[in-house]
Chain A
Amino acid sequence: MSVKAFELVPAVEREQVMGDKVRINIECIECCGKHLYLGTNDCFIHHFLLEEHTTAKGMPAYNAQKLLHKFLGLKKPVLELKAASALERLIVLCDSTITVVDMVTLEPVPTGGNKLKGVTAFCINENPVTGDPFCVEMAVVSARKRAVQICLVYEDRLQVLKEVTTPEQPCALSLDGYFICLALSTQYMILNYSTAASQDLFPYDCEERKPIVKRIGREEFLLAAPGGLGMFANAEGISQRAPVSWSENVIAASVCFPYVVALDEGFVTVHSMLDQQLKQTLPFRDGHLLQDFEGKVVLASTKAVYILVPLPLERQIQDLLASHRVEEALTLTEAAQRNIPKEKYQILYKRILQQAGFIQFGQLKFLEAKEHFRKGLLDVRELISLYPLLLPSSSTFTRCHPPLHEFADLNHLTQGDKEKVQRFKRFLISYLHEVRSVESANGFREDVDTALLKLYAETGHDSLLDLLASDNACLLTDCAPWLEKHLKYFALGLLYHYNGQDSAALQMWVKIVKGDLQDSTRPDLFEYVVDFLSFCSNLDLVWRHADWLLQKDQKIGVQIFTKRPDSEGKRGQLNPDDVIGYLQKHNKALVLYLEHLVLEKRLKKEKYHTHLAVLYADRVLGLMSRPTVTEEQLSAARQKLQQLLKESNLYRVQLLSNKLQDSELLLPERATLHGKLEEHDKALHILVHQLKDSPAAEEYCSWASVNQDQAYRQNLFHQLLSVYLDPDVPGGPQTVAAVDLLNRHANVFDAVRVLDLLPEEWSLPLLRPFLCGALRSSVHARCTSRVAVGLARAENLQLKHDRLKYRGGPILVSEKKGCQLCHNTFSEPDCACLPGGKPVHIHCVTKKALISSISELFT
């Protein structure tokens, strides 16, 4: 595989140089701007003006116009020509001597008597160290001299600056800054002529093969190495690029970034400096010279001159991409950075990355493709547009022109291979997913989200719901039919909801719950709908769907009323009375709702409490009248009723009382109601005589006196005791219960009153716990009150002490003492005291108070 990197274009034809003289050969060339100089073996210098133009076919072409030729007057060939354009001079090597001629007239110019003789080679420093623009630095090698001379060429003189000795006879050289890269007879070396430090590079037999020493950039040289290698070496003697492989008989080499061009007997070869691969081979017979001048590569046979015109890099890159050589194309693009203006480069680089991405995409190399799309900032719609129907129909996107790839669409790309289609789709899912999370500001959110939704729906991806539940920009008009087509009704509902169409969403879901539509996404859809409505602030919707929900399941359905969040404002708040009114026909739901109001939200409204109590009572009564009722059901119902009756103080007791008074079974409830009415005798009567439940009676006393004072409590317990001891009831006094009561609640009773009440014949041990307790509590009360008295006294004493302390000592008033305010003496014993015990006249104080109040008035 090869690239076409250069085009060989003729520049100077044979006839233009030598006419019909056959023995004349071109020996050297120099090119400076449009000026081309040729040195020939018959001691002539030819001067041409080189004009570049483009042919009708768009190919580059050169037209050389001969300006002048000049005979140097010797019979020796002109070996080397170097232009010093700033000086308008041409440095000539001919007959082992360096002379200087004018660039325009080609007339010799005096060099101040300093003639360099015996010269075999010289070179110009392209990275000069002197700051003088009108001075050219030159290194010269002479025959039979183990040294290099550093010279300076001025307009009118030539000056030898320095001579550096070398270990062997140099044969070729190149100069960069202070560094001379030398081919010696057996090796290459680098010499710093400023410090004289040297660095051997590698052995090379210059006798056997012509060396090549070519400066290719700042402190970097290209050298011909054994085995036909082109080695790179920097000034430190390190090779930073891998060598290129030429043929053994390479004649000349030159660099035109990023290519190394070499000439051998039959061919011009082009290697890339980036990957060292051979990129292009041009057949070229009788090649003699190959040199680059300011980026222009000039090639010459002995008779004619050609230019190697590099093809535009963009064209080369496109050629590489066309043959799917992605890596090479990218390498070349990155290398082109230094030749292209920054803005232009960035556009080019982005495009190449995108193209590379699409090539890899087509090869299913998704990882690489993704990386290139990302780096190339690909407009994601380019990618989406490859997948039919994914872009919203409203999208105005058109693919970029010229196209980034050769694919029509996914069908074209996969040729109907289903498995491939799936892989492409999976890639797009993951790509869009990433795009979404990273560059939400991409500007194409609608397109991305819509495409992603379609892909999710189509492939049954789990993330469909996540997408719809999170912040998204899916287009409703485009997505709704798609979701319907793929039977994603639940998701469609979510989409409606996201777009503020809760009514449509609910309609969708209700249809699924009812079985009109099939979508098993959520088996608990009914609960979901209830939950949704309980958070729905549109009360209209709540009422509209309440009937259906409650008919289906009262217990869950009522949650639309009970689970509503509290923190809402006015909007979305339900009026409980409306709800209660509505729930009349749904008894179970009504109970649940009232429980919610009374027990959970703890609303203090008599209406609700009474209503709930009545419903509880009705339920209990209803259950009792049913023959099949189980004990558990009944006790659970009674438990609820009892608890409400005991704990709530808001229901209408009389109403409940009327309701329950006929029931002989609901005695505890009736006792509780009597307690609420403070009819303790009746309550205790029921508990003691009808229910014969003394623990319940004791508990009653505790419950009924829970928020009352000690005396009330005592009275209640005494009342119970007297009920126990009442001899006028059938069965006589309940001695055991009375003793138990006393022993258990010793500290509640007034012991003296109890002892008076008790029959004489009761034994002391029987009442021992009571007596002990009573005694103990009485002693405890005494001790406690004494402590309290002691503490009160101490506090009183402390206060007295403080008062004395603050009052301070006596205030002395005498006839000699002056008033603090008027400074007159006191004539009468009456005085007032300022804070701090300073005595003043009473009238002074009054005056002062008056003044300060007046001044307050004015400020």
Chain B
Amino acid sequence: MPQATRTKKPDVKVVILGDMNVGKTSLLHRYTERKFKDTISTVGGAFFMKQWGPYNISIWDTAGREQFHGLGSMYCRGAAAVILTYDVTNWQSLAELENRFLSLTDTANADCIFAIVGNKADLTDTRIQGPDTDGEQVDERQPVVTCPTSPAILHKQVSREDAIALYSHVLRYKGLEEKACLPADKMCFETSAKTGYNVDSLFESLFDLVLPSILKKRSEGESSTVDLESPMEVKTNKAGCCS
């Protein structure tokens, strides 16, 4: 599949934002490569093209480091969806989303949708520590992954309610009516890039939600382009000057 998407133009853009070390790159990596491996701190940003049905969706993985913060609003420009990512074991990472990252989304599309994602859920919940439920085999040859945090069960610092509250803050910030938007319980996810828990569901439900945005973009694009190939409809009921 990579060769199929190599040269295509994206139809829509999805951006992953969040503080450093919350696992943005790992989330994307888990989704695209179906693996969890050690990643290095992202420099600048990277993107991945995903073919979703007939459409190409570009997913931008941004750098969480403060140093690259200024680039965020450029990445967000024209985005149809933004994934705000935090670390469930780190309350500060949730706070940063509101303090630092929310303003970056000013450049996103007006109808941009938001997802709040709490990653590293495996660290606080034994139930999702095992391998991925969708049958992904744990690769024996891969070296044991050392997590930046201790592998023992950690205290969950961010509850789901906190995330839901943030979601409504986001909507308020955007000046949107909560009732007119997608419901919070549908847009708040807890995931684990390590085990794969909820990762596919996150991306795929988001892709389905941005489809209308693609169609809108396409129809706008079509109306403004004159198609020289298709025959013009000539009105024949009006008599010409010579007839």
Binding site for B on A (CB under 8 A): 187, 200-204, 225-227, 229, 231, 233, 236-240, 242-245, 274, 276, 327, 330-331, 334, 371
B71 touches A202 (CB 8 A): yes
Closest residue of chain B to A375 (Cβ to Cβ) is B3
Contact partner of B77 (CB less than 8 A), chosen from A225, A237, A243, A371, is A237
A238 touches B46 (CB 8 A): no
A225 touches B71 (CB 8 A): yes
- Residues on B with beta carbons closer than 8 Å to the beta carbon of A371: 3
Give the total number of A-B pairs whose CB atoms are below 8 A apart: 67
B67 touches A226 (CB 8 A): yes
Contact partner of B73 (CB less than 8 A), chosen from A202, A204, A226, is A202
B44 touches A242 (CB 8 A): yes
Closest residue of chain B to A201 (Cβ to Cβ) is B74
A202-B73, A242-B44 known; A236+B68 contact, CB < 8 A: no
A202-B70, A245-B44 known; A236+B77 contact, CB < 8 A: yes
B77 touches A242 (CB 8 A): no
Chain A nearest CB: distance from B109 CB in Å?
A: 11
- Residues on A with beta carbons closer than 8 Å to the beta carbon of B10: 240
B238 within 8 A of A: no
9 A-B pairs (CB sep. < 8 Å): A225-B68, A227-B44, A229-B43, A229-B68, A239-B71, A242-B45, A243-B45, A327-B2, A331-B6
- Residues on B with beta carbons closer than 8 Å to the beta carbon of A227: 43-44, 63, 65, 67-68
Q: What CA separation (Å) do A229 and B2 show in the bound complex?
A: 25
A227-B43, A330-B6, A331-B6 known; A204+B78 contact, CB < 8 A: no
- Residues on B with beta carbons closer than 8 Å to the beta carbon of A330: 3, 6
Q: What CA separation (Å) do A239 and B44 show in the bound complex?
A: 12
B71 touches A231 (CB 8 A): yes
Q: What CA separation (Å) do A236 and B74 show in the bound complex?
A: 10
Q: What CA separation (Å) do A331 and B63 show in the bound complex?
A: 25
A243 touches B44 (CB 8 A): yes
Q: Which of B44, B45, B46, B107 has the largest number of chain A CB atoms within 10 A?
A: B44
- Residues on B with beta carbons closer than 8 Å to the beta carbon of A225: 44, 68, 70-71
A238 touches B45 (CB 8 A): no
Residues 1-29 of B at the A interface (beta carbon under 8 Å): 2-3, 6-7, 10
Q: What CA separation (Å) do A139 and B136 show in the bound complex?
A: 58
Q: What CA separation (Å) do A371 and B2 show in the bound complex?
A: 12
B101 within 8 A of A: no
Contact partner of B70 (CB less than 8 A), chosen from A204, A233, A245, is A204
A237 touches B74 (CB 8 A): yes
B31 within 8 A of A: no
Chain A nearest CB: distance from B207 CB in Å?
A: 20
Closest residue of chain A to B67 (Cβ to Cβ) is A227
B75 within 8 A of A: yes
Binding site for A on B (CB under 8 A): 2-3, 6-7, 10, 43-47, 60, 63, 65, 67-68, 70-71, 73-75, 77-78, 107
Q: Which 6 A-B pairs have the closest CB atoms?
A: A243-B44, A203-B70, A229-B44, A202-B70, A245-B43, A242-B46
Chain B nearest CB: distance from A253 CB in Å?
A: 14
Chain B nearest CB: distance from A664 CB in Å?
A: 86
- Residues on B with beta carbons closer than 8 Å to the beta carbon of A200: 73
Decide if the interface of chain B is mainly helix, strand, loop or mixed. Answer: mixed
- Residues on B with beta carbons closer than 8 Å to the beta carbon of A201: 74
A233-B74, A236-B78, A331-B6 known; A242+B68 contact, CB < 8 A: no
Closest residue of chain A to B65 (Cβ to Cβ) is A227
Chain A nearest CB: distance from B180 CB in Å?
A: 27
Chain A nearest CB: distance from B184 CB in Å?
A: 29
Decide if the interface of chain A is mainly helix, strand, loop or mixed. Answer: mixed
A238 touches B78 (CB 8 A): yes
Closest residue of chain B to A239 (Cβ to Cβ) is B74
Q: What CA separation (Å) do A187 and B70 show in the bound complex?
A: 9
Chain B nearest CB: distance from A22 CB in Å?
A: 40
Chain B nearest CB: distance from A634 CB in Å?
A: 71
- Residues on A with beta carbons closer than 8 Å to the beta carbon of B3: 327, 330, 371
Chain B nearest CB: distance from A211 CB in Å?
A: 13
- Residues on A with beta carbons closer than 8 Å to the beta carbon of B78: 236, 238
Q: Which of B7, B71, B75, B77 has the largest number of chain A CB atoms within 10 A?
A: B71
Contact partner of B74 (CB less than 8 A), chosen from A231, A245, A331, is A231
Q: What CA separation (Å) do A238 and B80 show in the bound complex?
A: 13
Closest residue of chain A to B75 (Cβ to Cβ) is A239
Q: Which of B3, B6, B63, B65 has the largest number of chain A CB atoms within 10 A?
A: B3
A231-B74, A236-B77, A238-B74 known; A226+B45 contact, CB < 8 A: no
Chain A nearest CB: distance from B23 CB in Å?
A: 19
Closest residue of chain B to A326 (Cβ to Cβ) is B3
Closest residue of chain A to B48 (Cβ to Cβ) is A242
- Residues on B with beta carbons closer than 8 Å to the beta carbon of A226: 67-68, 70-71
Closest residue of chain B to A335 (Cβ to Cβ) is B7
Q: What CA separation (Å) do A203 and B71 show in the bound complex?
A: 8
- Residues on A with beta carbons closer than 8 Å to the beta carbon of B107: 237
Closest residue of chain A to B43 (Cβ to Cβ) is A245
Closest residue of chain B to A368 (Cβ to Cβ) is B3
Q: What CA separation (Å) do A201 and B74 show in the bound complex?
A: 6
- Residues on A with beta carbons closer than 8 Å to the beta carbon of B77: 236-239
- Residues on B with beta carbons closer than 8 Å to the beta carbon of A187: 70
- Residues on A with beta carbons closer than 8 Å to the beta carbon of B60: 242
- Residues on A with beta carbons closer than 8 Å to the beta carbon of B6: 274, 330-331, 334
- Residues on B with beta carbons closer than 8 Å to the beta carbon of A245: 43-44
- Residues on B with beta carbons closer than 8 Å to the beta carbon of A331: 6
- Residues on B with beta carbons closer than 8 Å to the beta carbon of A231: 44, 71, 74
Closest residue of chain A to B71 (Cβ to Cβ) is A202
Q: What CA separation (Å) do A200 and B103 show in the bound complex?
A: 14
A202 touches B74 (CB 8 A): yes
Q: What CA separation (Å) do A239 and B70 show in the bound complex?
A: 13
Chain A nearest CB: distance from B239 CB in Å?
A: 39
Q: What CA separation (Å) do A35 and B101 show in the bound complex?
A: 51
- Residues on B with beta carbons closer than 8 Å to the beta carbon of A327: 2-3
- Residues on B with beta carbons closer than 8 Å to the beta carbon of A203: 70
Contact partner of B71 (CB less than 8 A), chosen from A229, A236, A244, A276, is A229
Chain A nearest CB: distance from B112 CB in Å?
A: 14
- Residues on B with beta carbons closer than 8 Å to the beta carbon of A202: 70-71, 73-74
- Residues on A with beta carbons closer than 8 Å to the beta carbon of B47: 242
Q: What CA separation (Å) do A204 and B70 show in the bound complex?
A: 8
Q: What CA separation (Å) do A238 and B73 show in the bound complex?
A: 9
Q: What CA separation (Å) do A203 and B68 show in the bound complex?
A: 10
Closest residue of chain B to A205 (Cβ to Cβ) is B70
Q: What CA separation (Å) do A242 and B46 show in the bound complex?
A: 5
Q: What CA separation (Å) do A527 and B78 show in the bound complex?
A: 74
- Residues on A with beta carbons closer than 8 Å to the beta carbon of B65: 227
- Residues on A with beta carbons closer than 8 Å to the beta carbon of B45: 239, 242-243
A334 touches B7 (CB 8 A): yes
Chain B nearest CB: distance from A335 CB in Å?
A: 8
- Residues on B with beta carbons closer than 8 Å to the beta carbon of A274: 6
Taking A227-B68, A231-B74 as given, write out 16 further A-B residue pairs in contact, using a Cβ cutoff of 8 Å, ordered by the A residue number.
A201-B74, A202-B70, A202-B74, A204-B70, A225-B70, A226-B70, A229-B68, A229-B71, A231-B71, A239-B71, A239-B77, A243-B44, A244-B44, A330-B6, A334-B6, A334-B7
- Residues on A with beta carbons closer than 8 Å to the beta carbon of B63: 227
Closest residue of chain B to A353 (Cβ to Cβ) is B3
Q: What CA separation (Å) do A229 and B107 show in the bound complex?
A: 21
Closest residue of chain B to A241 (Cβ to Cβ) is B47
Q: What CA separation (Å) do A123 and B43 show in the bound complex?
A: 30
Q: What CA separation (Å) do A704 and B35 show in the bound complex?
A: 92
Q: What CA separation (Å) do A238 and B10 show in the bound complex?
A: 12
Closest residue of chain B to A243 (Cβ to Cβ) is B44
Chain A nearest CB: distance from B220 CB in Å?
A: 14
- Residues on B with beta carbons closer than 8 Å to the beta carbon of A236: 77-78
- Residues on B with beta carbons closer than 8 Å to the beta carbon of A237: 74, 77, 107
Closest residue of chain A to B9 (Cβ to Cβ) is A240
Q: What CA separation (Å) do A334 and B3 show in the bound complex?
A: 10
Q: Which of A226, A274, A330 has the largest number of chain B CB atoms within 10 A?
A: A226
Chain B nearest CB: distance from A774 CB in Å?
A: 87
Q: What CA separation (Å) do A227 and B2 show in the bound complex?
A: 29
- Residues on A with beta carbons closer than 8 Å to the beta carbon of B43: 227, 229, 243, 245
